[in-house]
Amino acid sequence: MSAVLFFIAAIGAVSGAIGVVMLRNQFYSVLALVFHLVSLAALFLLLRAEFVAAAQVIVYAGAVMVLYVFVVAYVGGGEEISSRSGLRIIGPLLAIALAIELCVAMLGTALKGISGKGAPYVPGFGTPEHIGKLFLTTYLFPFEVASLLLLVAAIGAIVLARRRRGLEPDQELEARYHPPRPSWTGTMAEAGGMTHFDEPEARPEGEPVGSQH
Amino acid sequence: MAIGWYLVVSALIFAIGVAGVLVRRSPLVILLCLELMLNAANLALVAFSRMWGGEDGQVFALIVMVVAACEVTVGLGLIVAMYRRGLPIDVDDLRELQG
C-alpha cells in the first residue's frame, strides 16, 4: 500500500516539475507547481513528517502560490518565446548529466540506511508537538532568526514594489487633481501650452499670481 | 519504501529545476524553478530525517521553507518593480549589468 502511494506521489511530483519547466503559459506553470507541491506533501506524509506536510500545503501551496498567481495576473504572463541562445540546448544536457551523476552517487554510496526503511522512531514522530518543542529549545536561535528574516523580507518587498514618485508620472493622481476641461474653456495659461499647474518655479519669483501675460 | 527511492525522486526534481533555470527566460518561471530545487532539497532532508529517526532534518526543512518564502517575496517585488518601470520581463533582454 505504501509502495503504491509512493509511486503515485512520486510520479505526480516529477510530472508537476516537468510541467513547470515545459508549459509555455506562465499561469499553467504556477498551477503545475501547485500540483507538484501537493504531491510532495504526500511524500512527506509517507516519511512520517506530518507537520512539514501540513506546512507545505498551507504555506506553500496556499499562501506563496496565491502571491505567484497575483503577480502573474498583474504582469500579464503571456506566452514566452523560447530562448535563441546556446543554453537552450546545453541546459537540458547539463541537467541530465547532473541527474545521472546524483543517481550514481546514491547507488555507489556506502550508507547502509539508504536501502532500509528508516530507523525506528518514537511515537509522535514529526507531530507539531515534537517539532514545536525542538523549535523552542534546541533550535530557538534559528527560529528567531527566521522570524527576523521574514520581517526584513516583508519590508523589502514593500519598499521594492511601492509606487515611486518621480520615476513615472502618476496618471491617476494627475487626472484627479487636474481633470481635463471641455474645449473652449480654461485659462490662458493652458491655451499657451502650460498644462501643468503644479510647477510654481516656472513662474518668476515675487510676481503676483494674477499678472501673467 | 526504501529511503533511496525518495532520494532518487529528489535528485530528479532538482535536475528538472536546474534545467528550468537554464532554459526559461521569464524571471517568474525561473523563481518557480528555484522553488523546485529548494523542494528537492527539502525532500532529501526529510528523507534523511526519517533514515536517522531524528526530527532535526524536519526542523531544517521548515527553516528552508521560511527562506524560500522570503526569496519569493523579494523576487516578486523585483518583478513588479520591473513591470512598473516598463522594463522587459525577460532575462535575455535585461543585460545592462553584463560587462
Distance from the Cα of A208 to chain B's closest Cα (Å) equals 39
- For residue B12, being part of any structural domain is answered with yes
Can you list the pairs that A119-122 forms with residues at least 24 positions away whose Cβ atoms lie under 8 Å? A119/B50, A119/B51, A119/B52, A119/B53, A120/B53, A121/A48, A121/B50, A121/B53, A122/B53
CA distance B91 to B31: 12
CB-closest option in B39, B56, B92 to A40: B39
Whether residue A211 has pLDDT greater than 70: no
**Residue A108, class by beta-carbon neighbours within 10 Å (0-12 exposed, 13-18 middle, 19+ buried)?**
exposed
B37 interaction partners in chain A (CB closer than 8 Å): none
Residue B99 belongs to some domain of the structure: no
Residue B58 in contact with residue A51, Cβ under 8 Å? yes
Contact: A51, B58; criterion CB under 8 Å: yes
* Interface touch A67/B73, C-beta < 8 Å: yes
pLDDT 10s digits, A183-193:
666 666 556 65
CB-closest option in A98, A130, A149 to B67: A149
Which of A121-130, B29-38, B69-78 is least confident? A121-130
* Axis-axis angle for helices B56-84, B27-52 (nearest 10): 180
Instruction: Report the alpha-carbon distance of residue A157 to residue A197 in Å, rounded.
Output: 34
pLDDT at B37 over 60: yes
Q: Pull the grid cell for residue A177.
A: 487633481
Domain assignment present for residue B94? The answer is: no
Q: Which domain holds residue B79?
A: 3-84
Q: Which domain CATH number covers B14?
A: 1.10.287.3510
Lowest mean pLDDT among A53-57, A103-107, A203-207, B26-30: A203-207
Residue B95 lies in a domain: no
Cell 519669483 locates to A205
CA A165 to CA A195: how far, in whole Å?
19
What value, to the nearest 5°, has the Cα angle with vertex A62 and ends B13 and A37?
15
Closest of B61, B44, B59 to residue A106, by C-alpha: B44
Q: What is the ipTM of this complex?
A: 0.92
Residue B89 in domain: no
Would the CB atoms of B29 and A26 count as touching at under 8 Å?
Answer: yes
Look-up of cell digits 508537538: A129
C-alpha cell at A106: 546514491
> How does pLDDT run across A78-91, given as a tens digit for each residue?
666 666 677 788 88
Domain count, chain B: 1
Residue pair B62/A55 in contact by the 8 Å Cβ criterion: yes
Residue located via cell numbers 537552450: A88
For residue range A49-101, list pLDDT tens digits in order.
999 999 999 988 888 999 999 999 988 766 666 666 777 888 889 999 999 99
Tell whether B63 lies on the interface with A, counting CB pairs under 8 A: yes
Instruction: Say if the Cβ atoms of A156 and B73 lie within 8 Å.
Output: yes
- The Cα–Cα gap between A192 and A180 comes to 15
Residue of A nearest to B20 (CA): A21
Query: Is B90 contained in some domain?
Result: no
Q: What average pLDDT does range B6-15 have in this prediction?
A: 93
Nearest to A71 among B28, B74, B84 (CB): B28
> Residue B24 falls within a domain, yes or no?
yes
Query: Would you call A153 and B69 a contact, using CB atoms and an 8 Å cutoff?
Result: yes
B37 within domain boundaries? yes
With cut-offs at 50, 70 and 90, classify the pLDDT of residue A171: low
Taking residue B4's Cβ as centre, other Cβ atoms within 10 Å add up to: 19
